[in-house]
Structure 1
Amino acid sequence: MTLVSSPSPHGQSPLRTVQVLGGGNAGSSAHVRSLAAGLVARGVKVTVCAPAEAERTYDFSGTGAHHVHVPRSSDPVSVAALRALCADADLVHAHGLHASFRTVLALGGRRVRTPLVVTWHNRAHAEGARAHLLRVLERRVMRTATVVLGATSELVDRARATGARDARLAPVALPGRSRRPPDAEETERRRPKIRAELGATGRPLLLAVGSLERHRGYDLLLDATRAWRRLDPVPLVIVAGEGPLRAELQRRIEDEALPVALIGRRDDVSDLLAAADLALLPSRREARSVLAQEALHARVPLVAADAGGIPELVGDAAELVPPADADALADAVVRLLADPGRRGLLRERGVRQAATWPTEDETVAQVLSVYDELTQPTPLL
């Protein structure tokens, strides 16, 4: 569906929105850029409040939006700057927990008069005292927001349980992706070169993508690779991402002689997927996974933990295994590598499942309908 510009329902003045972004999450940053482009194209004035490094990476200004540097901080100076930027807005839309909490402070806490929309892309993860702090922030944000848009049903349910007045399901489109699968001939042409560069010539290539953090389940992935060493040829596991666990994971790989390579943060995931035989998602907690969407769209069979929003996202188009079960993950990979028929079935199911996900236009349409609902003048009786 393609939207066309229509006269503003707000009189002669265009709708003025402020998008608040923390800048720490690639998925939410890409969504804000996509949303800004769609809104600007439809006559909405958009100001994006985000750290300068996010602007350098995602070029919000290139969409026609106005970018203002606001640090990823809740100190009084940053909150005051955000308050000034939101003062003339018809509506404020915050993305992610930390950006939403700063916005709540900037708008005056429980006395918010400007409509505040919060998109909850995924749950923040922490342990100990910090986990308690995150729960406090969640309650404050959920109870203050006018509308909470959850990327998965699980997040919507949690928002309601945490006190949200109005929580709605709003799946976020994968930016830059249409409903047409990639060209199979082009993919096959690129595979040999990419596989050679990764050292996977003549052996299966398994791909995992994501930050090297505890909840991603990479410790379980390394446990599973021990079972794959008995295969001939031995599969190579490539992990694209950076994070605090890199040194710990690298030590295990070297000490246990595991067939795993950590290749750091990459901006060519589509090329890596074109070369992969399987995609792996061992996360203990996951919302609307970008890797899962990319894999199904690219016709790469996916093995994923049955956790969070993954079952809702992939349906029957992936091999789901119990979370935190390294043996189940290992067995599923062994079975798939030995069963080309099953891999082919998952590819076809993946294409059908990807066709059910919203496009960028549809995502913009849903968000804009919420904006209109919240900013339309109340008719006099």
Structure 2
Amino acid sequence: MRAEPQSRAKDDTAPGRLRIVHVMRAPIGGLFRHVVDLAGEQAARGHAVGLIADSSTGGERAEAILRMLEPSLELGVTRLCIRRLPSWSDPIVAFRIASALKRLAPDVVHGHGAKGGLYARLPALLPFFPTLPHPHIRVYTPHGGSLHFDPDALVNRLYLSVERALERVTDFIPFESAYAQKRFARAIGFSHAVARVVPNGLRPEEFAPVTPIADAADFLYVGEWRQFKGVDTLIEALALIRDETGAAPRLALVGSGPDEAALRALAERRGVDDRLSFAPPMPAREALRSGRILVVPSRAESLPYIVLEAIAARTPLIATNVGGIPEIFGDYADRLVESDDPSALARAMIAAGGMDAATRRRASDQLAERVAENFSLTAMEEAVLRGYRDALEAAGCRRAAEAVLPQRA
């Protein structure tokens, strides 16, 4: 899917109307949902919006979502092959994205995730790249990204050095969680970027309860199958439950990722492979019907949508005490489990499975009420737009001052 970019029209001067281009890599997971929600809401408010994303990931589901969104995007959808890890093709892709941005002529270039953030901001560091001829701002939402890297590993030090260079040409950084903002401050630091916490948000209709199907698994995992998501810890916990109770509960895994083969091998070694089912990515509310209790065993997170979505759907939930998850739970954060601890996770799963229906419903309602009050899509979109406005104003003042400084010298 590739829409022909639309250059800035002469009459594109409506008061308050912005031209916004979102740049991301893989159209999967919570990052993709965030971009789709934000772009859709901004377009609905009358802004000219475009999206640039990878063409090699996401599959049919991403294609369907983008086809539904594209008619509302005045600046279209541009898809290129963008690799997750550093590649020889990166300079070529970066140049093509910079050229597309020059044709689209946005007021706001908003990069999402490590690779999207790189491509959105790189033209400001490389003078031989195509650049925008008019004042604009560069925005970066990490979505975890480089913040999940081990800062002591040599290759990750290089990544963080690049992030520090890019931060100096960044005007606004909306963080999904206070945790992400603090982690960024420690690992990368701030120079002049406007930085604010803008939590992910849900639509009102997402708070309708979801009922599990008749043959739903006892436990459910929804998300990427990657090491930092802790799915291996969940499989180990399943084996421990079998050892303690004599029978392993059923576990449904919904998603995709590079660690599928390793997870299948682990389940076979631990003797619980017959208790697992694997299913491809699907809409969250559909996936939540596949299990009775959702488990989020992550080793690292920022502010995961699946936790918000499960709480809104009144799906009982076990989650680890990492990243921004405690910010979602608030006063109920004592319900969270330590990460990377199969024994603690197994105990929590046994306790949740034995909880009576009334207690489970009361706990779910408490969390749903908190999420409804604090994590709305409308609040998220309004906070991002306010940040754009403030950053545009600050950037305009700064650039005007820089223009006269050489004359004073």
TM range (shorter): 0.7 to 0.9
For structure 1, which segment, 253-262 or 93-102, has the greater mean C-alpha deviation from structure 2 after superposition? 253-262
Distance, in Å, in 1 between the alignment partners of 2:48 and 2:292 is: 44
- Of the candidates 224, 230, 255, which is equivalent to residue 269 of structure 2? 255
Aligned CA distance change for structure 1 residues 321 and 252 (closer, same or farther; 3 Å):
same
- What is the DSSP-based 3-state SS (H/G/I as helix, E as strand, rest coil) of the residue aligned with 1:144? coil
- Residues 1:333 and 2:333 are matched in the alignment: no
1:311 aligns with 2:339: no
Partner of 2:306: 291
Q: What is the CA–CA distance in structure 1 between the aligned matches of 2:256 and 2:81, rounded to whole Å? A: 22
**Deviation per CA, 1:311-340, whole angstroms, max 9, x where unpaired?**
112224563111111111111111222221
Aligned to 1:81: 96
Instruction: Provide the residue aligned with 1:98 in structure 2.
Output: 115
What is the rounded CA distance, in whole Å, between the counterparts of 1:248 and 1:310 in structure 2? 26
| Equivalent in the alignment of 1:178 | 204
State, as a whole percentage, how many aligned pairs show the same letter. 24
| Structure 1 residues 271 and 51: CA distance shift in structure 2, 3 A | closer
Q: Shift of the alpha carbon at 1:100?
A: 1.0
Instruction: Using structure 1 for the length normalisation, give the TM-score.
Output: 0.83
Amino acid at match of 1:62: P
Q: Secondary structure at the match of 1:263?
A: strand
Residue 10 of structure 1: CA displacement?
5.7
CA contact (8 A) 1:22 1:51 kept: yes
> 8 Å contact 1:107–1:114 — kept in the other structure?
no
Matched, 1:156 2:181: yes
- Aligned residue in 2 for 1:271: 286
Change (3 A) 1:52 1:223: closer
Q: Distance between the aligned counterparts of 2:55 and 2:341, measured in 1?
A: 40
The CA RMSD measured in Å over matched residues stands at 3.0
| Residues 234-284 of structure 1: CA deviation (Å, up to 9, x unaligned) | 421112222222222212222322164141322044234235321111111
Could you tell me which of 154, 159, 170 is aligned with 1:134? 159
Distance change >3 Å, CA 359–CA 324, structure 1 → 2:
same
2:231 aligned residue (215, 218, 221): 218
SS of the residue 1:116 aligns to:
strand
Select which of 54, 66, 70 maps to 1:61: 70
| Equivalent of residue 117 in structure 1, options 119, 136, 139 | 139
Q: Does structure 2 conserve the Cα–Cα contact (< 8 Å) formed by 1:282 and 1:304?
A: yes
State how 1:188-203 maps to structure 2 within 5 Å.
188=211, 191-192=213-214, 194-195=215-216, 200=217
CA distances 1:210-250 after superposition (whole Å, capped 9, x unpaired): 22211111222122112322437642111222222222221
Query: Per-residue displacement from partner, 1:65-109 (whole Å, max 9, x unpaired)?
Result: 411233325633322222223332222111111111122222335
Contact 1:148 1:159 in 2 (8 A): no
Specify the alignment match of 2:81 in structure 1: 71
Mapped contact 2:30–2:306 kept (Cα < 8 A)? no
Aligned residues: 358
Is this contact kept in 2: 1:86–1:107, CA < 8 A?
A: no
Gaps of 5+ in 2: 1-10, 84-88, 401-409
Question: In 2, are the aligned partners of 1:123 and 1:287 still within 8 Å (CA)?
Answer: no
Name the CA distance, whole Å, in 2 between partners of 1:139 and 1:108: 12
Decide whether aligned partners of structure 1 residues 354 and 367 sit closer, same or farther in structure 2, where only a CA change above 3 A counts.
same
User: Pick from 46, 49, 53: which aligns with 1:50?
Assistant: 53
| Deviation larger for 143-152 or 371-380 | 371-380
Mapped partners of 1:180, 1:220: distance in 2? 29
Shifted more, 338-347 versus 212-221: the winner is: 338-347
SS at match of 2:319: strand
- Report the secondary structure of 1:323's partner residue: coil
Task: Give the distance between the partners of 1:16 and 1:9, measured in 2 at CA.
Answer: 9
Asked if 1:207 is matched to 2:220, the reply is yes
CA–CA distance in structure 2, aligned partners of residues 13 and 294 of structure 1: 32
Could you tell me which amino acid in structure 1 is paired with residue 375 of structure 2? P
Q: Could you say which residue in structure 2 is the equivalent of 1:3? A: none
